[in-house]
Amino acid sequence: TNERAQWFTDSRFGMFIHWGIYSGAEGFWKGEKLRNDNDYAEWIMYRNRIEKEEYLTLLDRFDWDEIDPEEWAILAKKSGMKYVTITAKHHDGFGLWNSQASDFDLGNYTNRDIIKELSEACQKHGLKLGLYYSHWIDWEHEFGWDHTKELSGITAEDYDQYWQEKVIPQVRELLTNYGEIGMFWFDMWINHSKTVVTKAQLLQLKNLIRELQPKCIVNSRLGLSIEEDPDVDFKTLGDNQLGNKKENFPWQSPATVAHSWGFHKSDTEWKSTSTLLKSLIGNVSLNGNFMLNIGPRANGEVPYEISQRMLEMGKWLDVNGES
Ligand code: JFZ
């Protein structure tokens, strides 16, 4: 058994938060719907070919007086969740804190640091904090990965420049300035041997975490499976994919209440509370974990359809759960 991940297996239920500049677009750009093959609102910058400067104008739609990450933590707590994982940096490359390694971050445009605010809220409410960090894909950095580079190509040297000047320093900041980080949640779904990322780079990243916060756990979407590297702490299944057997390692399903992860105003096929509860219970019966997503709006508000279902799950857990 993996002792580092024991708290995670015991936690059973956590919250995922997809929130960033894309939340201001709500799945539309200049009246045009998200051009997509998967309808994920957080992909709009890439799908609709939005320039960086234009993309940043979406920040005008954010209502900073309304935004309060503690409300997300309180919702997690009331819903019976034990940890919260937020998109510190999604594929657009925009950091939700004040990074010294990049200007493409919240600290450069506002006086807010959402990672700090959420970490304090998690401490206050007894929740573990997880950070989603898109290491492989970065649409903002000239040498970050985006899927057009499958055709245009990118040299190993250029990609390593992105890695050494953005990924490594940013992950170092996140592990240094925000107290205890329960987990790093990376996101890559192609075997590293088929991409520009090297195993050495992935190990550099994992070693940095081990060095700075030995108790922090790391998921398999780092790009190293548990089979390839048993030191990886838990396996993340495919999006909305539920478990179907017991495993001899910790695992988790990330799931959405409708379809998109980031807020999307026409994404309205909501799963029912009982469907979501069955997913949670099914995973837990196989010793797995369930991480359910909220995509707050640009004003920080959690869509009612999501918060209502989560609170109903919390009520069920109050009566039927273990702790
Ligand atoms: C990724 C992201 O592209 C997406 O925006 C969101 O953050 C989600 C949680 O993760 O999308 C994926 C990643 C992996 C799989 C599917 C979608 N997968 O392994 O099936």
Q: Report which ligand 1 atom has the smallest distance to the Cα of 18.
A: 7
Of residues 228, 229, 234, the one with CA closest to residue 248 = 234
Of residues 90, 109, 87, the one with CA closest to residue 98 = 109
Pocket residues: Cβ below 6 A from ligand 1: 40, 42, 187, 189, 238-239, 254, 261
Q: Which residue has the tokens 């700090």?
A: 116
Is the CA virtual torsion 240, 289, 214, 68 positive or negative? Answer: positive
Instruction: Characterize the bridge pairing of strands 217-218 and 183-186.
Output: parallel
Q: Whose CA is nearest to atom 9 of ligand 1?
A: 239
Q: Whose CA is nearest to atom 10 of ligand 1?
A: 187
DSSP state of 105: B
- The rounded Å distance from CA 58 to ligand 1 centre is 23
ipTM of the complex: 0.98
Q: How many DSSP H helices and E strands does the chain contain?
A: 11, 10
* Verdict on whether the full-model pTM lies above 0.90: yes
Residue by residue, DSSP assigns 221-273 as GGT--TTT-TTS-BEE-STTPPP-S--SS-EEEEE-SSS-SS--TT---PPPH
- The rounded Å distance from CA 137 to ligand 1 centre is 11
- The rounded Å distance from CA 323 to ligand 1 centre is 30
Measure CA of the first residue to CA of the last residue in the chain; give whole Å.
22
Is residue 158 packed enough to be buried (19+ CB in 10 Å), middle (13-18) or exposed (0-12)?
middle
Of residues 61, 62, 182, 73, the one with CA closest to residue 117 = 73
Of residues 74, 72, 56, 73, the one with CA closest to residue 20 = 56
Pairwise CA distance, residues 218 & 222, whole Å? 7
- The rounded Å distance from CA 240 to ligand 1 centre is 9
DSSP state of 20: S
What is the chain's pLDDT, residue by residue, as a tens digit (323 residues)? 689 999 999 999 999 999 999 999 999 999 898 888 778 999 999 999 999 999 999 999 999 999 999 999 999 999 999 999 999 999 999 999 999 999 999 999 999 999 999 999 999 999 999 999 999 999 999 999 999 998 888 999 999 999 999 999 999 999 999 999 999 999 999 999 999 999 999 999 999 999 999 999 999 999 999 999 999 999 999 988 999 999 999 999 999 999 999 999 999 999 999 999 999 999 999 999 999 999 999 999 999 999 999 999 999 999 998 76
